[in-house]
Amino acid sequence: MDEKKWLGSDLVFDIDANEISECQESGKYVQMKFCRKCGFYIQQLDVKSCPQCGEELSKFEHIEPECINIAKEHVAKLIDILENDLGFTKIITTFSGHRGFHVIVELGEPYSYMSPDERREIVSYIKVDDYQLKAFIDQIIKKSKKYVVLPPRVTDGGIRRRIARYLANYVDEEIREFIMGSKSVLNFEVAQKVYEYLIQHLNDVAKAISVCIDAKVTIDITHLIRVSNSVNGKTGWRVIQINNADVYAFELSPHNLSASDVKLKIRFLTSIPRVTVIDEEFSFKKGEEASLEYPYASYFVYKGLASIVNVVR
């Protein structure tokens, strides 16, 4: 063990839809606890044991497919930052086989030897933490005491570039042309209005340009990441590499989540509320049996909600 040596690590990002506030606030994130023995279920997550039989309750978490689309937006923002702000080019993107995406930046020397503290700085920049935001605002306020404060432009780079891209969606054509770089001059009064708008909507701006990444995954230089084409143990679905990191081209479908064309006859151990899995809606009662294509059946089995009766070919 003493002879082992760290040979460096790639830069890894994990984006899970259930951690994104838009998904949580949309009501598309389902959580409940259920009893594998008697089938009791409850949506109160603080209950630990079954009130009917005393068995320990298991937890079921489910996100609707719409949340995967929300996660795509964050992946696209992340890749934009990695390419245009940080200059990385070797980027691999995969669907994790569950509820989100992995983005891996393949690093060569010396960047592969970045320490956890250095990786934490990258996380801070991508998530736009309070320190990053305060530094930007302090800079604006300091300049405004001496100069006319012009809106950020996409040619500025860094945090200013990201803010400019957001502002371009909420301003009139004259300001948009300046922000996007096609116009070089902006009226004083107009510039002040943009500055005031930015200050008033600072929280919205910060939320819009931030990316919901799991900081622990990126900072940890020993973190393991799922290999493409492996099977996720929480769903039975395949980990899928996305061509050219084009996340918008990826769609959930039963055909690409599994190479198996068999059906499984399963029996439900508990009742479940109506949920959408991949592209189909389901709702079952305890003890009910159903023959489903593998990707649907495996989801319920791997989540612990059902058991396999037999294989249907």
Reply yes or no on whether the pLDDT at 19 is more than 90. yes
pLDDT tens-digit series, residues 104-157: 999 998 999 999 999 999 999 999 877 777 777 777 666 666 666 778 889 988
**Which H or E element spans position 189?**
helix 188-200
- The more confident residue out of 73 and 190 is 73
Alpha-carbon gap, residue 87 to 167, rounded angstroms: 23
Please state which of the ranges 17-21, 123-127, 154-158, 294-298 shows the lowest mean pLDDT.
154-158
Q: Is the pLDDT of residue 183 over 80?
A: yes
For residues 306 and 312, is the Cβ–Cβ distance under 8 A? no
- The one-letter amino acid code at 236 reads G
- Residues 284, 249 contacting (CB under 8 angstroms): no
Q: In CATH terms, is domain 11-28+66-126+213-249 a member of 1.20.1260.120?
A: no
Confidence (pLDDT) at 39? 85
Structure tokens at 92: 């691999």
DSSP string, 110-121: TGGG--HHHHHH
Contact predicate 213/207, CB 8 Å: no
SS3 100: strand
Q: What is the DSSP secondary structure assignment for residue 249, as one 8-state letter? A: G
Alpha-carbon distance of 69 to 82, in angstroms, equals 20
Q: What is the pTM of this model?
A: 0.89
Per residue in 222-245, pLDDT (tens digit) is 999 999 999 999 999 999 999 988
Domain boundaries, the chain: 11-28+66-126+213-249, 34-63+253-312, 129-209
Q: What is the mean pLDDT of the chain?
A: 90
Q: Please report where in the chains the tokens 């042309």 appear, as a residue.
A: 177
b/e sequence 287-307, b meaning 16+ C-beta within 10 Å: eeebebbbbbbbbbbbbebbe
Highest mean pLDDT among 72-76, 136-140, 259-263: 72-76
The values of phi and psi at residue 142, to 5°, are -65, -45
CB 82 within 8 A of CB 74: no
- Of 42-56, 89-103, 292-306, least confident by mean pLDDT is 42-56
